[in-house]
Structure formats: structure tokens, C-alpha cells
Structure 1
Amino acid sequence: MINTIAEKPKYPFEWLDITDPNEEELKQLTETHSLHKSSIKDWLQPDHLPKYEKVGDYVFIIFRLHSEKVGPEADTVPELTDKVAIFMFEEKVITLHRKPWDAPNFIAENQLEQHQCKDTLHLVNEIIKSCLSTYEAPSAKLTSDIEFYEENMFLKNRRPSLLKGLYYLRRRVEVTRRIIMLSHEIVDKMDAPDHSNAYTRDTRDLFVKMQNIYDTLFENMNQLVMIYFSISSQRTNEIVRVLTLFSVFFMPLTFIVGIYGMNFEFMPELRMKYGYPVVMIVMGLITVAIYGWFKKKGWL
């Protein structure tokens, strides 16, 4: 579906926003606006990463914005983000995307109607800023999820599903952080020294903010995973310690029982009248002595 957001002579440029075009629309678009086939090929790839390149008489940009709805086990680039292709001419901008996108209407109401966009560079800068802002709400959700898992690890019983949830959470943080990092070149080109202004610097500030937030989330996530394995190791060591204590208690008792269970004919203690109670008393004394030793060492 082709939607004309801005057109001449009302604005100093033309903006065509195209949602989920079919093959015929793509072919017509390519021929009408002289788009290079390599640009269309890049846009058709569902997992294409952000890029900025000069192609002929236009600049081709692929930017990825965060998806509105993300599944609990989403951990790939296409699952977490949606792709927007931007063709920036001197007096024309074309945007391509698969899913419905609210940014064109928002920019039209808040920027175009106020006549704040003087050229296509300013318009594309607003589009990129709008894409970057889609990462703000997910960052808050990721922070909340990390706190949830941290609370469950320290204050509640560890469940088998906890590690699986940590894996997908870490993957979401890692993939999103990588997408933002790969968008660095686009922001740099938009805020180049020869045409830097207050609007492009705002976009750079937003990018730096998102980059710092997701770097922090990534570090927190790595620490959380390390804490999980440390706690698991500590609990395993605690179980081994308890089992070791039990084995130390029963080791000398088993030794004594083993000796008197051999049933040799000429064992002198076999005919002692008080042999059984003496052995039981000795075994009791050994148990008490071991217990006292452990208490003194602080192992109990």
C-alpha cells in the first residue's frame, strides 16, 4: 500500500510511505524512481542488519526498529526488530516496511504540519529518531525482567525453568544491543560535521543514551548469569558437604561392623560376655567424638 505523506508544492520535498508492497508494486516503484536492484534485494532480506550507503543519486538506509510485540522466547533479529528501508533523494524520501508503522503519521502531525522539516535530510533524521525511540520501552521491560530473575535467584526457590528464561533474556539483550551498535554509522552520517544541527545532535544524544542503557543491561545480564551459576555451585557444594559429613560419621562405625562381621572361628572377642554392649558403647563414643570435633571446627 502506497501512502503519500508529503507532496509538493505544499512541502519542499515528497515523502512516499509504502507498507508491505507486492512484486508488482516493487517493480513499478523501482522503475518509476530508478531504484537500484541491490537496494531492493537488501530490503527483501528479512534479517538484514542496519546499513548506510550511497547508491547513484540517492542514499539507501536500512534501519531496524524494535517490534511492538515480542514473544517470550524471541531471540533473533527478525523476531525482535522490524526493518525499515529509507531511500533519501535530494527532494524525495521513500520508506518501505512490512508491518504497520505509526511514525509517518506522528512525524506528519508534529513536524511536517509545523513546517519544521526544511529538507529531506531533516526528515530522514526525524524518521531515524523515531525508530531509535522504539527501544526505550523495551529497555524498561528488560530492566524489570532482570530484577524479577534476580529476586527469584536470591529470595525464592530455584526452579528448572529459571535457566531457560535467563537464556532468552540474555539473547534479547545481546541481539538488541548489537542492532543498536550497528546503527552507529547511520547516526554518524546523519550528524556529519558539514550538516550537523540541533536536530541531528538530538538524534545522536538519543542513540548514545540507548547504547549506554543496553550496554548496562548487557553487563547486568552477564553478571546475573554468573551469579546463577555461582549460586548453583554453592548449593551443590552444600549438598556435597552434608553427604560428606554423614559419610564421616558412618565410616568408623562401618569399619567396626566389618571387622566383627568376618565370622572367623578363633576371633577372641566372639565369646566375651559383654562384647556386644562394649562395642556399641565404643561406637557411640566415636560418634560423639566426631560430632564434638566437627563442632569445634565450625563445620556443623
Structure 2
Amino acid sequence: MVNKIISKTANGFEWMDITAPSDDEFAEVAKKYKLHPALVKDCLQPDHLPKFERLENYSFIIFRICTGNDLPEADSVQELTHKIAIFYADDFILTIHRKKQTLFDELIESVGKQKCTGSHELLNLLINACLGTYDQPLKKLSKSVDYYEEIVFLRPKNAPLLKGLYYLKRKIDLLKQMLILSYDIIDNVDSKELGDVNTRDTRDQYIKFQNMFSSYSENIHQLLNIYFSASSQRTNETMRILTIFSVFFMPLTFIVGIYGMNFDFMPELKWKLGYPGVMLLMAVVTVLIYIWFKKKKWL
């Protein structure tokens, strides 16, 4: 569906928003604006990563907006982001996307209230709106990081947190990568020649999101390291306790083994105090081991 939002006669440039275009519709648009076939192909790829490409008469942008997918195990590019393709020139802007996006409704309403002075100003508003889709998911990821921090530090025996940490790490790293790949787009929107106060705000927002994602990514890596260290420490503590028990029982088992041998001629067989004597010997050995452990501060 092709929707003309801004006309060239009234504003000096036109904005065409194209949602889920058919092959015929897109071929007609490509012919009218003389779009390069390679860029048209990139435009139609649903999993294409962010890019910026400048041609002689126009520029081509692919920006991936955040979907806000709440599924715990969503961790792929298409699950977490949607692609917005933008063809940009002084006299036109084309936006192409597969699904209807609410950010365009909000942007159209904003543009209707204040007239854009040029296509570059509209492009900046578009990129700013696309960046804004990362705000809510970032807040949700922040709460998730806090939740897993609480589990790691305060409730170490509760919940299968390793799987949750894995998917949380995947989400944060993927969204962080999308922002990193979008750097060229922001840099060209806020260039030395075309930059102004509004484009600086867009760059500031980009830097803010990038820093926050980097911080959360680092926190998740630290949480994973702490989790593995804590698990290793608990295992070592268990092994230490089992080793202490085995040290106590080894000499007792040795004594019992000797007195359990079935020989006819043994010195203690006819001794009336043999049984209590052996029990006393075992008690003395146990006390001596306990004193030794205490002296070494192993208990």
C-alpha cells in the first residue's frame, strides 16, 4: 500500500510511506524514482542489517527498529527488530516496511502540527522516532537485569537462572549490535554540513542508548562469571565437607577391616576387654583427627 503523506507542491518535497508493497507497486515506485536494483533487493530482504549508502542523487538507509517482543526466548534479528528502509533525497523521502508501525502514526501527527522545512528535517524526525523504539525494551531489560542480580546474590538456590541469563544476554548483545551498525546512519544525519540542534539531540539519544546497552551487556557478563564462580564455590564446599567425613572414617574403616579378618590365631580373640578396647581406640583416633583439623583451621 502506497500512502502519500507529504506532497511536493505544498512542502517542496514529498514523503511516500509504503507498507507491504506488491511486486507491481514496488516496481512502479522504483521506476519513478530511479532506484538502483541492488538497493531494491536489499530493501526487500527482511533480515538485512542496518546500513547507510550514498548514491549520486539520493541516499539509502536501512534502520532496524525494536519490536518490544516480550517472549523470554526471543533472540533473533527478526524476532527482536523490524526493518525500515528509507530512500532519501532533497525532493523526496520513501519509507518502506512490511508491517504497519505505530511510530509512523505518531510521526505523521507530529509532522501535521508543525511543518517540516525540508526533507533532512523529516529524516531526522524519522531516525529519532526509530531510535525511540529502543526506550521501552531497554527499561524492561533493566528490570530483568535487576531480577537476575537479585537471584545470583540473594537467592542462589532459586530458579533455573542460567537459561534466563543466556537469553537476556542474547537480547542485549543483539540490540547493542543493531545500534552499533546504525552508527553511519546517525553520523550522516548529524553531519557537519547538515547538522543542527535537532540532529544533535538524535545523536545524543543514540549515544545514550548505546552506552546503556553496553553497560547492561557488561553487567550480564559479570553476572554469568559470578554465577559460575558461586556454583564452583558451592561445589568446592560440598567436596570439602565430604573429604572431611572421609578422613574421619578412613582410619576407623582400617581398624574394622583388620578385626574383621577371619583367622583362627589372633592375639585379641581371647581378650575379654578386646571389644571395648577397640571402640576406645576408634574414639581416640576420631578425637585426634578432630583436634588436628581444628589446629589447621579446616573446621
Aligned amino acid, residue 49 of structure 1: L
Shift in Å at residue 137 of structure 1? 1.2
Q: Which residue of 2 aligns with 1:151?
A: 150
SS at match of 2:268: helix
Q: Which amino acid aligns with 1:141?
A: K
Question: Partner of 2:249 in structure 1?
Answer: 250
- What is the TM-score of this pair, normalised by structure 1? 0.95
Unpaired segments of 5 or more residues in structure 1? Answer: none
Structure 2 residues not aligned, in runs of 5+? none
Paired with 2:264 and 2:46, the residues of 1 have a C-alpha distance of 85
Contact 2:268–2:274 (8 Å) recurs in 1: yes
Q: CA deviation at 1:6?
A: 1.0
C-alpha separation between the residues in 1 aligned to 2:182 and 2:112? 25
Alignment of 1:40-55 (within 5 A): 40-55=40-55
Aligned equivalents of 1:203 and 1:160: distance in 2? Answer: 40
* Farther-moved stretch of structure 1 (261-270 vs 134-143): 261-270
Q: What's the counterpart of residue 63 of structure 1?
A: 63
Aligned to 1:125: 124
**Aligned-pair identity (%):** 49
1:31-76 Cα offsets, whole Å, 9 max, x none, are 2222111112112222211100023421000001100334210111
Structure 2 residue 189 is matched with structure 1 residue 190: yes
Number of equivalent positions = 299
What's the RMSD between the two structures over aligned residues?
A: 1.5
Write out aligned runs for 1:220-231 (5 A): 220-231=219-230
Once the two structures are TM-superposed, the CA of residue 159 in structure 1 deviates from its matched residue by 4.6
Q: Which amino acid aligns with 1:248?
A: V
Which runs of 4 or more aligned residues in structure 1 lie more than 4 Å from their structure 2 counterparts after TM superposition? Answer: none
Separation (CA, whole Å) in 2 of partners of 1:24 and 1:159: 56
Structure-2 residue corresponding to 1:113? 113
Q: Which moved more, 1:288-297 or 1:212-221?
A: 288-297
SS at match of 2:157: coil
- Aligned-pair distance for 1:107? 2.1
Q: Give the Å deviation of 1:26.
A: 1.7
Superposition deviation, residue 109 in structure 1: 2.2
Q: Which secondary structure state, in structure 1, belongs to the residue aligned with residue 82 of structure 2?
A: strand
Distance 2:176 2:156 in 1: 31
Contact 1:61 1:186 in 2 (8 A): yes
| Residues 63, 84 of structure 1: 8 Å contact kept | yes
Q: Which residue of 1 aligns with 2:277?
A: 278
Which whole-Å deviations, capped at 9, do the CAs of 1:138-161 have from their partners, x for residues lacking one?
111111101111111222243562
1:263 to partner: Cα distance = 2.2
Q: Which residue of 2 aligns with 1:269?
A: 268
Aligned twin of 2:98: 98
- Deviation string 1:183-230 (CA, Å, 9 cap, x unpaired) is 111111111111111111111111111111111011101101111101
